[in-house]
Amino acid sequence: MTLRFLSFLVLTCLLTTFGFLKGLDISQVFNLQSLLIVFGGTALVLCLGFSKRRLIETFQAVVHALRQQQTHRDDASGILPEILELARTYRLHGPLALEKAAEEAENDFLGFGATLIAEGYDYNALLNALERQSALRYAERRNQIGLLRAVMRLAPALGMAGTVISLMQVMGQIGQQMNSLGPSLGLALSSTLYGILFANLLILPMATKVEALAEDEMMERDMIMEGLLDMHRKEHPLRIAERLNCFDSYRRLQEGRARGPIHIPGMDGPEAGLGQES
């Protein structure tokens, strides 16, 4: 993430310096009034229009999305060992052991589903609860994306408002200070520039990242749901891995072990072998 973020900053600075601002003096670009209208107005609307909790959650989602080294789609096998371990625990030791293991699960959605299994939910009740929880979490991500999209629409609009205000001030100077009319018109347009750059070079990439995060999390939850439903039926962990199309990923977990029957981590006895259960 650090290398990508630094690359983004460097490219943005180069694009801004040699693209948008080429040929302009810094005094023509920097306008304190325009900055206050665009950024201060955006902050005011966010504070008035959205709850503190939603603002904090959106910020956390952006940070999470930017820190993501690899999409859940490419790293789906990362959750597989945890699913298989919970399945093994439930299959061999029953619901009490599963409930204790679920409390230590790193993935909270997986821990939530495993707890429902340990509490004795039937198959249909479990499926409905997981679908509701997944839909709720996806809706929260959509709300965060909606906030970012609102800022994207708001910033250029405030920039245009700042330009109109500045132009009104310029019009009042016509006939009094004609020599300063040109620079004043240039400053009047700076607020529009701030709004456009802020919306498209900063907020748009953030919204895109959070959208990708939401889709990847949905795919991961679908995989977890499939594993939990198989876990509810007390399927063999290897069969769960096969149904999740992650059998190769599971085999990679066994690298370094002696050749022979593949064993679930922590499982001993005749039940451990791949071919021991029909």
Q: How far is CA 243 from CA 83, 125, 142, 273, in A?
A: 12, 21, 29, 18
Q: How far is CA 204 from CA 4, 146, 153, 237, in A?
A: 16, 12, 10, 42
Instruction: Output the pLDDT for position 274.
Output: 40
Please answer whether residues 7 and 15 qualify as being in contact, where contact means their C-beta atoms are separated by less than 8 angstroms.
no
Report the predicted TM-score, pTM, of the whole model to 2 decimal places. 0.72
The conformation of residue 64, written as its DSSP 8-state character, comes to H
Q: How many CA atoms lie within 13 A of 138 on its CB side?
A: 15
Q: What is the DSSP string of 119-183?
A: TT--HHHHHHHHHHHHHHHHHHHHHHHHHHHHHHHHHHHHHHHHHHHHHHHHHHHTTT-GGGHHH
Please answer whether residues 220 and 54 qualify as being in contact, where contact means their C-beta atoms are separated by less than 8 angstroms.
no
Instruction: Output the pLDDT for position 136.
Output: 95
**Which residues in the chain come in under a pLDDT of 70?**
1-9, 12-29, 69-78, 172-184, 186-187, 245-278
CA distance 132 to 184: 57
CA distance 134 to 142: 12
Instruction: Output the pLDDT for position 81.
Output: 86
- Plot region of 57 (φ>0 → left; ψ -120 to 50 → alpha; else → beta): alpha
- Give the phi and the psi of residue 89 in degrees, each rounded to 5: -60, -45
Instruction: Output the pLDDT for position 219.
Output: 86
Which helix (H) or strand (E) segment is 210 a member of? helix 204-232
CA distance 270 to 237: 14
Instruction: Output the pLDDT for position 232.
Output: 92
Residue 69: Cβ within 10 Å count: 9
Instruction: Output the pLDDT for position 148.
Output: 95
Please answer whether residues 181 and 188 qualify as being in contact, where contact means their C-beta atoms are separated by less than 8 angstroms.
no
| 229: CB partners within 8 A, 6+ apart | 123, 126, 127
SS (H, E, C) 46-84: HHHHCCHHHHHHHHHHHHHHHHCCCCCCCCHHHCHHHHH
Residue 233: Cβ within 10 Å count: 11
Please answer whether residues 56 and 215 qualify as being in contact, where contact means their C-beta atoms are separated by less than 8 angstroms.
no
Residue 152: Cβ within 10 Å count: 18
Instruction: Output the pLDDT for position 180.
Output: 60
